[in-house]
Amino acid sequence: MPLYDYNCQSCQNKVSIRLSYAEYDTAKPKCPVCGSANIRRVISRVRIAKSEEARMESMADPSNFGDVDENDPKSVAKFMRKMGSEMGEELGPEFGDVVDRLESGESPEAIEQAMPDSE
Ligand SMILES: [Zn+2]
């Protein structure tokens, strides 16, 4: 049976609960630490990262993007804009902010340092 990760809202523990696929639909799992039913499913980051990776691979053909000069923030910004539209989804205000700053000539290092820790 697969393991599902949950965050307990009561005791703040991260717990893994083993459920069958059939159970997963109907079960009301409880936190094994404190017994609270107030727990939330955690969507696996690994899974998200993997699909992200697959998507990057599918558009890894460098000819899609032309030349990117990593030392030229404007060139990087152009690349990121293109990549952003390629991905066909909203990448969030932070992404747009980064691109804007690159376009105005800020170095990627400076921008990274100014960003709030995304973890
Ligand atoms: Zn708990």
Alpha-carbon distance values, 44 to 3, 64, 66, 77, 85 (Å) = 11, 31, 34, 30, 26
Q: What is the pLDDT of residues 74-113, one digit of tens each?
A: 888 887 777 777 666 666 777 788 888 888 888 878 877 8
Q: Find where tokens 């409880």 sit.
A: 30
Distance 13 CA to ligand 1 centre (A): 6
Distance 48 CA to ligand 1 centre (A): 25
Distance 22 CA to ligand 1 centre (A): 23
Distance 81 CA to ligand 1 centre (A): 43
Q: Please state, in angstroms and rounded to a whole number, the distance separating the CA atoms of residues 8 and 15.
A: 7
Distance 2 CA to ligand 1 centre (A): 20
Q: For the whole model, what pTM was predicted? A: 0.37
Distance 19 CA to ligand 1 centre (A): 17
Q: Is the pLDDT of residue 65 over 60?
A: no
Q: Give the residue, 60 or 81, on which the prediction is more confident.
A: 81
